[in-house]
Chain A
Amino acid sequence: GENVEQHPSTLSVQEGDSAVIKCTYSDSASNYFPWYKQELGKRPQLIIDIRSNVGEKKDQRIAVTLNKTAKHFSLHITETQPEDSAVYFCAASIPDSWGKLQFGAGTQVVVTP
């Protein structure tokens, strides 16, 4: 089955700097790659997603890039702010899998003022 690895497990950045989280997946059939943000004690919430027919997607300070050949995708957060501090999860899903998601282990991002 699908396996998703996520790095780094923790990331400390200064406010205003950029943060990058990388994930690799094993199943070349995967075609949907969402990113979820989970604040302390809260539920995971979707922040951005990308499909395999697209190489990059942006939403304000957040961007995701996908390299299908290398089977990896990355989350980029620019101009980080204290409210970006959270755990971020990447996930992958294959077609015809009833929306099942295989999650990475998560990255704890700490933005220091």
Chain B
Amino acid sequence: NAGVTQTPKFRVLKTGQSMTLLCAQDMNHEYMYWYRQDPGMGLRLIHYSVGEGTTAKGEVPDGYNVSRLKKQNFLLGLESAAPSQTSVYFCASSRGQVRNTEAFFGQGTRLTVV
């Protein structure tokens, strides 16, 4: 099993450009998440999904959109990139039970917006 895989690993965007980050998991997990990691701020939740076809806003959703058309994939979109979106983005998944369980993270995407 590959676990959680993110594509791409690195990207440089110009202000105003758009892009999509792809997250794929092969563990049949119900729940998936997108976090961003900035120095001194830990990981902050952008959006999450509790199942195929469902998405919800997290702590810092502005400027991002998501979609979960297939259970194994969770896409994060930036419609018009801004320098404030320069960050490391992590996707994560978990089994999805009433009792909280381990979240498995992807390897991260380092995004720079110039």
17 additional A-B residue pairs with CB within 8 Å, beyond A99-B33, A99-B94: A6-B42, A42-B107, A43-B108, A44-B43, A44-B90, A44-B105, A45-B105, A49-B102, A89-B42, A96-B98, A98-B31, A98-B48, A99-B100, A100-B48, A100-B58, A105-B41, A106-B40
Interface size on A (CB < 8 Å)? 26
Q: Could you tell me the distance between the alpha carbons of A95 and B41 in the complex, rounded to whole angstroms?
A: 24
Instruction: Tell me how far the C-beta of B28 lies from the nearest C-beta in chain A, rounded to whole angstroms.
Output: 15
Which one of B44, B48, B90, B103 has the highest number of Cβ atoms from chain A below 10 Å of its Cβ?
Answer: B103
Q: Which residues of A contact B105 (CB under 8 A)?
A: 43-45
Q: Interface 1/0s, chain A 37-57, versus B by CB < 8 A? A: 000001111100100000000
Q: Which residues of B contact A34 (CB under 8 A)?
A: 102-103
With A43-B108, A98-B31 in contact, do A103 and B43 touch (Cβ < 8 Å)?
yes
Q: Which residues of A contact B56 (CB under 8 A)?
A: 98
B96 at the interface (CB under 8 A from A): yes
Q: Could you tell me the distance between the alpha carbons of A4 and B101 in the complex, rounded to whole angstroms?
A: 19
Q: Which residues of A contact B41 (CB under 8 A)?
A: 105
Q: Which residue of A lies closest to B43 (CB)?
A: A103
Q: Which residues of A contact B44 (CB under 8 A)?
A: 103
Q: Could you tell me the distance between the alpha carbons of A46 and B102 in the complex, rounded to whole angstroms?
A: 7
Q: Interface 1/0s, chain B 32-66, versus A by CB < 8 A? A: 01010000111111001010000010110000000
Contact B43 A99 (CB under 8 A): no
Q: Which residues of B contact A62 (CB under 8 A)?
A: none
Q: Could you tell me the distance between the alpha carbons of A100 and B43 in the complex, rounded to whole angstroms?
A: 11
Contact A99 B103 (CB under 8 A): yes
Q: Which residue of B lies closest to A90 (CB)?
A: B42
With A46-B102, A49-B102 in contact, do A100 and B45 touch (Cβ < 8 Å)?
yes
Q: Which residues of A contact B100 (CB under 8 A)?
A: 31-32, 93, 95, 97, 99
Q: Could you tell me the distance between the alpha carbons of A29 and B41 in the complex, rounded to whole angstroms?
A: 23
Q: Interface 1/0s, chain B 64-99, versus A by CB < 8 A? A: 000000000000000000000000001000101011
Q: Which residues of A contact B102 (CB under 8 A)?
A: 34, 46, 49
